[in-house]
A and B are shown apart, each in its own frame.
Chain A
């Protein structure tokens, strides 16, 4: 397959999904089949993209036949391809999970088109090579997530929606203003072109200022300290499959944008950006894990853990050695799988135990021992226990920061790991270990009687747990891939050359 097809297919599948699901508006069953088929198509075409970029080639294509700095470029390197594969995997896993339980109520409220719209925005953001186009994909993702969050229309969801919508709109508008500033400074919007123009700008102080503004805009998307308040205010109100896909993908798009812009467009060695990211990373880890310790609702605990885990990814970006960037990439991959799985399990705890509130659940290990094992795999992986995927990603990030002499950051990361273990054991003790309240026992009986729901909900959980185990036991290829992807990010020449072609050239005449 040629580069154009490889890069546009991951966009075309979800776009097709949105269109078809809208047309099949009155037929929920047909929408389900369409949604699943399209998600599988997304996974397959993203795997083809990964295979084509595996050896380190950077694929690039220009839409509309306009040559590089003028048209919209789509670029696939190892990082983008890996992110798109994970998106496809999540699309299928959460898609299967979404068939269970109260699926009819969601489907009546436009669930499938919005779900595909979210995937469209996320894959677009991972593949685009144009900063204004990135803004457009952010908005596609955002409007779908608005709809999904408020899908049920309950009081709780409307309240959460108000906060989520306001804070996210402010963040994306700030992103748009940053894009305008960058355009005013350079006269270009193409990321590869920007990478070439920005070092030639005389006023580097202005470049650093814009870089930090971008950090604020992307940081609020990624839910870093102190910009995370929209996340714990809203995530726990959405229904289980929706919050799982949110937890897997939305904040990670912000992390991806930071990773991409601070390796390709801006230089991390410039000014004081790297120390700022380091401090923010430490505070994000600590506040997130402390917030989780204070709560007794499974979804709220897990929401705060998203924030704390984002800190580890930022830690890798702040240290900025090839090992650290590779570690951050491995962390993103590990985290998406584990976090989505934990939210899927939270949905199962609610169904089999009768509540999300830990004080009202209990005794699940006695009646459903295998569910306990399935919970322990992602929970212990999140805390970073060997031999699971979390151990290796934490190991690489911590080793990189120790190698670079950031002992304090490494110590924070390890301490937060212990506190994460505390939170996970809290869920374990309350939901699985202690004696079951009467209401919880009744819910467990209903769960055991409903084979269809059980099958739909447990299949994706088993698949994701198996992937977590695989990354943990056969870690070598995954670590090697992440390290190569990190090296590719830090050496931007391949990316720039793939988009703009070899040789020095200036895009357009621009008088600063």
Chain B
């Protein structure tokens, strides 16, 4: 079973790398989501996948004998909660950037690091340039 999961981890990381390197911020968010899930899968794999028995101490006993490793589940739960909060913030941030700039193309987001040369008029920079961002528009 483990080789299959290891392969799935690799595929997820590859897919997220592809998505994050895109110029479209929506794809970047999806890539970050997939990367977070890949990380969770890697924790799950690292905890070994021998048995399906839940890790419960039977009544009367004081120690756990057999059962799945409970630690990765606790770690993944923590990681899921954290990545949920971060992705939620990211989506809000990207959406407000989208509203303000009128584009999903990262190449058009250049306010913090303008290209050298004379500054373009703010109104011209805000309007989405027709034909410049086809990928961004089709995904929506």
Contacts and interface: CB of A to CB of B under 8 A. Distances in A.
Interface string A150-179: 100101111111110110011001001101
Contact of B25 (A153, A156, A162): A162
Interface in B74-98: 75, 78-79, 82-83, 85-86, 89-90, 93-94, 96-97
B133 interface: no
Contacts of A170: 20, 32, 35
Nearest to B99: A158
A142 B71 CA distance: 25
A358 to B, nearest CB: 16
Given A177-B39, A180-B46, A158 B85 contact: no
A245 to B, nearest CB: 19
A428 interface: no
Contacts of A156: 111-112
B57 to A, nearest CB: 15
Given A136-B82, A159-B109, A166-B20, A181 B90 contact: no
Majority secondary structure of chain A interface residues (helix, strand, loop or mixed): helix
Nearest to A162: B97
B110 interface: yes
Contacts, number: 99
Interface in B18-60: 20, 25, 28, 32, 35-36, 38-39, 42-43, 45-48
A147 B93 CA distance: 10
Contact of B79 (A146, A159, A176, A183): A176
Given A142-B86, A156-B112, A150 B38 contact: no
Contacts of B78: 132, 136
Interface stretch (A51-59, A82-90, A101-109, A233-241): A233-241
Given A159-B109, A162-B93, A184 B101 contact: no
A139 interface: yes
A143 interface: yes
B140 interface: no
A363 interface: no
Contacts of A184: 42, 45-48
B111 A159 contact: yes
Contact of A183 (B25, B28, B35, B47): B47
Contacts of A163: 109, 112
Nearest to B69: A187
> Interface size for chain A: under 10, 10 to 19, 20 to 34, or 35 or more residues?
35 or more
A181 B82 contact: no
A17 interface: no
A155 B20 contact: no
Contacts of A173: 32, 35-36, 38-39, 83
Contacts of A153: 96
A232 interface: yes
Nearest to B87: A169
B120 to A, nearest CB: 13
Given A150-B93, A177-B38, A166 B32 contact: yes
Interface in B96-117: 96-97, 100-101, 106, 109-113
Contacts of A161: 93, 97
**Chain B at the A interface: SS class:** helix
B100 A158 contact: yes
A234 B97 CA distance: 14
A232 B85 CA distance: 26
A165 B100 CA distance: 17
B109 A162 contact: yes
A155 B45 contact: no
A393 B125 CA distance: 46
A150 B93 CA distance: 8
B32 A180 contact: no
Nearest to A153: B96
Given A153-B96, A158-B96, A233-B112, A143 B39 contact: no
A158 B102 CA distance: 12
A139 B112 contact: no
Interface in A243-280: none
Interface of B: 20, 25, 28, 32, 35-36, 38-39, 42-43, 45-48, 71-72, 75, 78-79, 82-83, 85-86, 89-90, 93-94, 96-97, 100-101, 106, 109-113, 126
The 9 closest A-B pairs by CB, nearest first: A184-B46, A180-B42, A160-B112, A180-B43, A158-B97, A159-B111, A176-B39, A180-B46, A159-B112
7 contacts: A142-B86, A143-B89, A160-B112, A162-B94, A162-B97, A176-B42, A177-B38
Given A155-B100, A169-B90, A234-B112, 15 more contacts: A146-B86, A155-B111, A159-B111, A162-B109, A165-B90, A166-B90, A173-B32, A179-B43, A180-B45, A183-B43, A183-B46, A183-B47, A183-B72, A183-B75, A184-B46
